[in-house]
Amino acid sequence: MEDGRIIELYWQRNETAIEESGRKYGAYCGAIARNILHSQEDTEECVSDTWLRAWNAMPPERPSRLSVFFGKITRNLAIDRYRKNKTRQFGGQYPLCLDELGECVGEAAPIEDGLALRELINAFLRELPEKNREIFLLRYWYFLPVEEIAERLGASQGSVKMTLLRARNKLKEFLEKEGIGI
Segment 44-88, tens digit of pLDDT: 999 999 999 999 999 898 999 999 999 999 999 999 888 777 544
The Cβ of residue 65 has, within 10 Å, a number of other Cβ atoms equal to: 10
Side chain identity at residue 11, one-letter code:
W
In this prediction, residue 108 carries a pLDDT of 45
CA dist., res. 57 & res. 52, Å (int): 9
Q: In this model, does residue 90 exceed pLDDT 50?
A: no
Sign of CA dihedral 124, 125, 130, 132: positive
Query: pLDDT confidence of 91, banded at 50, 70, 90?
Result: low
Q: CA angle, corner 164, sides to 96 and 37, nearest 5?
A: 30
Tell me, yes or no, if the pTM score tops 0.75.
no
Class of the CATH domain delimited by 3-85: mainly alpha
Q: What pLDDT is stored for residue 49 in this prediction? A: 96
Tens of pLDDT, residue by residue over 111-132, are: 555 677 788 889 999 999 999 9
Give me the residue spans of the domains in the chain. 3-85, 94-177
150, 160 Cβ separation under 8 angstroms: yes
94-177: CATH topology is Arc Repressor Mutant, subunit A (1.10.10)
Please write the tens of the pLDDT for every residue from 122-160: 999 999 999 999 999 999 888 888 999 999 999 999 999
